[in-house]
Copies of this chain bind each other. A is one copy, B any other.
Amino acid sequence: MEGSARRSELIAIAARSFRTKGFDATTTRDIASASGMQSGSPFYHFKSKMDLLFAVIDEGMRTALQGQKESLAKLPDQANACERLHALVLHHLHVLLSPGNDFIPVMLYEQRALPPALRKEINHAKDRYEQAWRQALQELEADGRLQTNASLARLMLFGAMHGTLIWHNRKQPLSLDALAKQYIAVFVTPPERAAKAIT
């Protein structure tokens, strides 16, 4: 929200460290010196270490939500559910795996360090992020193109994608584009094999 350049720099540096070493193992002194500050100075920008964690996650959610919107907007007007899901998957892989994109990984792994009130706020943003997924998956379910219900498919799909954080190697032969196609191939049955014929 507040746009001080120094503040943004602290958030980016904190994100990297929170991701690499974890929230608890990161000291505010680490962050300060990586930003060329003295040990007490981060507290001029953030009330507490936890506030900084929240800022990192919040920044990640805003960016991801904005990016998702743009990805969908780029699609042709009559894009069907499968095409929309593909765009969502591809964008989400970018969110997870683009170099320097440490915010969402921090959310996934360090959320626990936040008090319930802040976690609730994040969950609201997550709900908004998942809306487009719910809709696409429900349409696919209605067309008989899922092998489970839309809700479970969404949970499985997110789990399968988040797993890339552990095994995906940036030097791998598989591009994010190719990877997205594989996810769609696994989770969405092609129309010609769908359980229910298109009416």
| A159 located at the interface, meaning its Cβ lies under 8 Å from any Cβ of chain B in the complex | yes
Complex Cα spacing A24 to B113, Å: 11
Task: Contact check, B186 vs A148: say whether CB atoms are below 8 A apart.
Answer: yes
CB within 8 A of A162: which of B159, B185, B187? B159
* Distance between Cα atoms of A167 and B21 in the complex (Å): 25
User: Quick one: which of A20-58 are within 8 Å of B by CB?
Assistant: 21-25
Q: A159-B162, A160-B160, A163-B159 are in contact. Are A186 and B153 (CB under 8 A)?
A: yes
Number of copies: 2
CB pair A186–B185 under 8 Å, yes or no, is: no
Name the B residues within 8 Å of A148 (CB-CB). 182, 185-186
Contact with B along A131-148 (1 / 0, CB 8 A): 000000000000000111
Q: How far is the CA of A146 from the CA of B186 in the complex (A)?
A: 8
Select A163's contact among B24, B156, B167, B182, beta carbons within 8 Å. Answer: B156
Contact of A183 among B156, B158, B164 (CB under 8 A): B156
> Is residue A171 contacting chain B, with contact meaning CB distance below 8 A?
no
Task: Give the chain B neighbours of A23 by CB distance below 8 A.
Answer: 24
Render A171-188 as a binary contact track against B, CB cut-off 8 A, 1 for contact: 000000000001101110
> Does the CB pair A158–B153 fall under 8 Å?
no
Taking the closest CB of chain B, its distance from the CB of A140, in whole angstroms, is 12
The 8 lowest CB-CB distance pairs between A and B, nearest first, are A159-B163, A24-B24, A156-B160, A159-B160, A147-B185, A160-B160, A148-B182, A147-B186
22 A-B pairs within 8 Å (CB atoms) are namely A21-B112, A22-B112, A22-B113, A24-B24, A109-B109, A146-B186, A147-B185, A147-B186, A148-B182, A155-B160, A155-B163, A155-B167, A156-B160, A156-B182, A157-B160, A158-B163, A159-B159, A159-B160, A159-B161, A162-B163, A186-B186, A193-B193
